[in-house]
Structure 1
Amino acid sequence: MSAGTFTPAPGRATRGVVMRRQIRMELLLTARRGEAVVLAMGVPLLVLLGAGLTDATNVPGDDRLAYVVPGVLALTVMSTAFTGQAITTGYERSYGVLKRLGASPLTRSGLLFAKTSAILGLVLVQLLVLALVGVAVGWRPEFGQLLPAVGVTVLAVAAYSGLALTMAGLLRPETVTAGATLIYVVMLSVGGIMFAAPDLGVAGWFVLPLAAHAQALRDALSGAAIPGAIWLSLAAWAAVGVTAATRFFRWE
């Protein structure tokens, strides 16, 4: 046995190590929550199959799946990054979990980054699964604008996650649950996901980020260019969400 084998080496873990471990923990905790999985996958899957394979709703154009599937992909992003994130984090704060994390080497900005990164990874897996289901039932997307589709999705995740963490950091968990669920239902109803919504023009994309994201995915996955106004809308929502979370999120 060489000298120094059991010599203590105290010191704080590097920022990279802390972030990787927290992201891994966020993913594990999310995977263990059955209700989160149902919300994130069950509801969008039912909407995809119900609205995409039946005439239960009216959609513009002749290709029903080309309208419904991209809308469901956008809905999945919102259900995971906003509704599920807000409710989960709200109760973590209420139960004192975040307060204990605040005493660890993890900084507040580190926690926000870890949660958003974990959600982004989870969203990409969900979108892949739902896209495969869509293809299996007859959806035939074009992949000429796949990178822009990924880009608008990253902006949407940043926007929804930022807004979710802001709500969870300011309000009681019961209020967060009610508010996040209400916003989810309203967006589902007027966002043009499973049926044609009133055309609000460019202004609608700035008021309804879900509608902007859904239209961006429809354009991109049909081979068309995404309008600049949609890019601007989602970038503005992302900036607002991230800024608000950075400023107002609290450990307790």
Structure 2
Amino acid sequence: MNPVMVITDICSILWSDLVTLKRRWARYLITTLMSPLLYLMAFGWGLGRGINMNGMSYLEFVIPGIIALTAMNASFNGAGIRLNVDRLYFRSFDESLMAPVSDVSLLIGRSMIGMVRGLISSSVFVMLALAIAPSMHIEPVFLLILLITCMTFASMGVLAALLARSHEDMATFSSLILMPMTFLGGTFFSLSQVPEWLRLVLYILPLTHSSACLRAAALGQPVPWSSFIAIIMFMSVFLVTGRMALRRISE
């Protein structure tokens, strides 16, 4: 496998989506930022007003969690929903399978589509959050964690789209996997407040680790490197499993 050809194919797959996104960027941002802004107003300014969380205001606590949540939803939907529509509705994904492109290039390219969309949405929200909480630390380690988070959930979206047999399957996946992570992944509350047995269960969720890492980096606290490694492991599992699903489809 020629590394140069792999990179070239990945860039070609990504470029085609960037051309489309360029024409619809305003609509895309409005769509993807609506939910996190509503979460910010409802939890940060509404329910959390006057509450202290681990020695800080609840607003400072919840913003990094909402950033992780934005990265998850934008990356998953940017990769998964788009692939699901191309594969089951337009049937255009069959042309990609017949193209002289390796399965690795196709998998990573499709995942990077979601990663870029997730980075765009979460980065815009970060800029809005800095205007609200200027004490946040946006340093290289924060950006690295955000990048890996977006790639992790983008690869999860690709895997879900490859396994789905209908559009309803994607909706079911979102209801059974993404929705519980939204409210149980340490986004809106500290895991120190839940029983130990439940805390161990919640650490199975990748969003829990992303929220912990992004919150620590944003607040200038030591990054929990065990969670950072867990995010990378989740990403690796999603990519390997996605390649297996892609090979099954192409046979």
TM tier relative to shorter chain: 0.7 to 0.9
- Give deviations 1:118-174, integer Å, cap 9, x for gaps: 32222222222111111222342124xx22222322332332222221121122222
Structure 2, unmatched stretches of 5+, are: none
The structure whose Rg is larger is 1
CA, structure 1 residues 142+36, in 2 after alignment: closer, same or farther (shift >3 Å)?
closer
Counterpart of 1:210 (choices 183, 207, 226) is 207
Verify: 1:134 aligned to 2:129, yes or no: yes
In structure 1, the partner of 2:223 is: 226
Q: Check whether the contact 2:115–2:150 (CA below 8 A) recurs between aligned residues.
A: yes
Say whether the 8 Å CA contact 1:86–1:164 is kept in structure 2: yes
**Structure 1 contact 152–213 (Cα < 8 Å) conserved:** yes
Bigger relative CO (Cα 8 Å, ≥ 6 apart): 1
AA aligned to 2:234 is W
Contact 1:205 1:233 (C-alpha < 8 Å) held by counterparts? no
> What is the count of residue pairs matched by the alignment?
238
Deviates more, 1:55-64 or 1:221-230: 55-64
Between the aligned partners of 2:187 and 2:220, the Cα distance in structure 1 is 19
Most deviating of 224-233 and 31-40:
31-40
Q: Which amino acid aligns with 2:17?
A: E
Describe the shift of the 1:184–1:117 C-alpha distance in structure 2 as closer, same or farther (beyond 3 A): same
1:41 aligns with 2:50: no
Q: 2:164 aligns with which of 166, 171, 180?
A: 171
Q: Could you tell me which residue of structure 1 aligns to residue 97 of structure 2?
A: 102
Could you tell me which amino acid in structure 2 is paired with residue 156 of structure 1? Answer: T
1:185-233 per-residue CA deviation (whole Å, 9 max, x = no partner) reads: 1111212223445536673563121121111111111111211321232
Instruction: Give the fraction of aligned pairs with identical amino acids, expressed as a percent.
Output: 19
Deviations 1:15-35 (A, max 9, x none): 554432321112334564998
TM-score, normalized by length of structure 1?
Answer: 0.81
Change (3 A) 1:53 1:123: same
Distance in 2 (CA, whole Å) between partners of 1:219 and 1:165 is 28
Q: CA, structure 1 residues 205+227, in 2 after alignment: closer, same or farther (shift >3 Å)?
A: farther
Distance, in Å, in 1 between the alignment partners of 2:213 and 2:200 is 15
Long gaps (5+) in structure 1: 1-12
| One-letter code aligned to 1:191 | G
Change (3 A) 1:20 1:155: closer
Query: Is the Cα–Cα contact under 8 Å of residues 204 and 211 in structure 1 kept in the other structure?
Result: no
Aligned partner of 1:50 in structure 2 is 42
User: Is the Cα contact below 8 Å between 1:187 and 1:208 reproduced in 2?
Assistant: yes
SS at structure 1 position matched to 2:203:
helix
Specify whether residues 115 and 21 from structure 1 end up closer, same or farther in structure 2 by C-alpha distance, changes over 3 A only: same
| Counterpart contact for 2:72–2:118, Cα < 8 Å | no
